[in-house]
Amino acid sequence: MSQTLKSINPWNKQLVFEINESSEKEVEQSLMALDKSFQQWKSTPVITRCAYIMAVAAKLKRGRDDYARMMSREMGKPLAQAKAEIDKCAWLCEHHAKHAPIFLADEVIQSNAKRSFVRHQGSGVILALMPWNYPFWQVFRAAVPAILSGNAMVLKHASNVSGSSKALEELFNIESFPILFKSVFLRGEKAALVLKNPLVKGLTLTGSEKAGSEMAALAGSLIKPALLELGGSNAMIITADANIEQAVEQAVKGRFQNNGQSCIAVKRLIVDERHYEEVKERLEAKLKSMFTGDPLEDPDLGPMAREDLAIELEEQCICSLEQGAKAMFPIKREVSLFFPNVLMDCSPGMKAWDEELFGPVLALCSFNSFDEAIALSNHNRFGLGVSIMCNNPEMYLSRCAEFEEGAVFFNSFVKSDPNLPFGGVNASGFGRELAKDGFMSFVNRQTIVIE
């Protein structure tokens, strides 16, 4: 029997959106429609595909405020941050439309043949399994390069942002262009049925380590390519010569934006012991000044996306305290609202260190040599990114290879940028999104040889 998927506002518990779960017949019809469009789209000139994405960007800008309010109401994102997310999606569209003709051009390669080159072709319908924390950005990051590369996309979004999923389907529906994007509304355990459909040719997943490992295993058994962007526990290292005011500002912004619910957030702060007390004092002042409240009133922090997630974070914090960490403030949670905090004197072996804290809590520790800082940073199964706050980045460039990370940022928290490849190693996943790499994720690099 079909179930109803509901989006509940985590701030006031009011119903935001509800929709009936898609039936197997509806899923099949969506995939057939997308495959039919793909058969036409794969030979459509790249310049026409770019025109489509630019039309999506224009529609996105027109609906910016409505889309932002939907995100804020569904998962608690402060409204200004939701609007910034929409702006970033539009930027991604414009950037990729500008570069697609270059990235997807035939690649001439010298060989023993008279002429040889590589041509980039779309693969088919790509399944996107996306999380709730960035309801639009995560989808755009996957969909735009895939569609520009000649593919179509079916989205299975997180159930608690079904309203955003429906809005995204309508947003990508552009008059005079084929249907290239559809949403299906399913509980998480039914995503495997979509991937098993022979019309689906690949998987892109942003989400938990557990979901990623299970779906990647299934994709492998089906001989379908997969791209995984999973969890992270990024460290930020504050060196002896760092600008402490700037470092703390970056740490706070990098940890607490999006209510602390970001895979690339600063989750572990590793501070030169000479600055440890000063950093603690500055963090305490920053957190005391934070305004928490209704996301539509644009606070510094809104509620976490669901109450069960806030309860899980609370349990991780309590366990870490039992393991020897010290809380800067008493652990405080009111339903889905989790008040910002710092767990001090953390170390490997504690939950706050070994697990991903997906909420507004920062783990803090000190070091007395850069070798120790590297070891502490690497003492974690994730590998999405690391930040180094210092006066002279050139001094540390030669040490970058010692970090087991997908990215190393100097004097900033880790960010995603359409110009740069994005992705991680180890338990943070594999493959790269954005930049040229993102265009290559689901294309057939067809070799053509003329003797």
Instruction: Report the C-alpha gap between 76 and 394 in whole angstroms.
Output: 40
Instruction: Report the C-alpha gap between 48 and 156 in whole angstroms.
Output: 27
CA distances from 296 to 5, 69, 72, 260, 363 (A): 23, 7, 6, 17, 29
Largest interatomic CA distance in the chain: 74
Torsions phi, psi for 29 (to 5 deg): -65, -40
How much of the chain is helix, strand and coil, in % rounded to 5?
A: 45, 20, 35
SS3 call for 90: helix
Q: Which residues, at least 6 apart from 422, have a Cβ–Cβ distance to it below 8 Å?
A: 141, 229, 406, 407, 416, 432, 433, 434, 435, 438
Instruction: Report the C-alpha gap between 143 and 156 in whole angstroms.
Output: 12
Could you tell me how far CA 450 lies from the centroid of its own chain? 42
307 is catalytic: no
Exactly one of 21, 85, 229, 355 is catalytic; name it.
Answer: 229
The H or E element containing residue 244 is helix 244-256
Exactly one of 263, 317, 365, 390 is catalytic; name it.
Answer: 263
- Mapping DSSP onto H, E and C, the string for 21-85 reads CCCHHHHHHHHHHHHHHHHHHCCCCHHHHHHHHHHHHHHHHHCHHHHHHHHHHHHCCCHHHHHHH
At 59, list the tokens: 């529609």
Instruction: Report the C-alpha gap between 372 and 78 in whole angstroms.
Output: 37
Instruction: Report the C-alpha gap between 309 and 290 in whole angstroms.
Output: 21
390 is catalytic: no
Positions marked catalytic: 229, 263
